[in-house]
Amino acid sequence: MTLALEILSWACIVVGGAFCLLSGIGLMRMPDVFTRMHAASLGDTLGAGLIILGLVFQAGLGADLVGVKLLLILVFLLFTAPVATHALSKAALLDGQRPWTADGQPPEATLERGDIADDDFLEEIRKDRAGGGAGRAD
């Protein structure tokens, strides 16, 4: 293995470990479930991805197929982590968790300014808040 590949490999592993550490700190410091999920999903996906990529550089893509197996694990991780985070956030919304806002206003106040949502979506939110329904059936 060349020196440049060795340095690149260890750089990926160290930076990936740093992302995982920052993700763990984000879990402890963020105010609500959605921001915690955001920190955890981005940090862990990127951190684990960089660690696996560093291991691929270490193993190479030789005849023993270790590097290929690591790449398959990386692809699996990149497909499943965002889906799992989406499912968890949807479950939290259905459980009644509301996103944190810096000004203390409910998230619907931001939507009612008209810069994000259309009228049909705002009407669904109002009905959901009044009737206690589960929201959209996406």
Q: Residue with structure tokens 């920052």? A: 22
Looking at the structure, tell me whether residues 72 and 108 fall in a common domain: no
Looking at the structure, tell me whether residues 75 and 18 fall in a common domain: yes
Instruction: Specify the range with the lowest mean pLDDT, choosing from 1-5, 33-37, 57-61, 124-128.
Output: 124-128
pTM (predicted TM-score): 0.70
For the segment 62-106, what is each residue's pLDDT rounded down to a tens digit? 778 898 899 999 999 999 999 999 999 889 888 888 887 766 666
Asked if 73 contacts 52 with a C-beta cutoff of 8 angstroms, the reply is yes
Looking at the structure, tell me whether residues 93 and 34 fall in a common domain: yes
Looking at the structure, tell me whether residues 77 and 131 fall in a common domain: no
**Number of domains observed in the structure of the chain:** 2
Nearest residue to 9 via CA among 52, 39, 43: 52
Average pLDDT over every residue of 20-46:
90
Q: Which domain, by its residues, includes 32?
A: 3-100
Q: Tokens for 86?
A: 């989406």
- Asked if the model's pLDDT at residue 12 lies above 60, the reply is yes
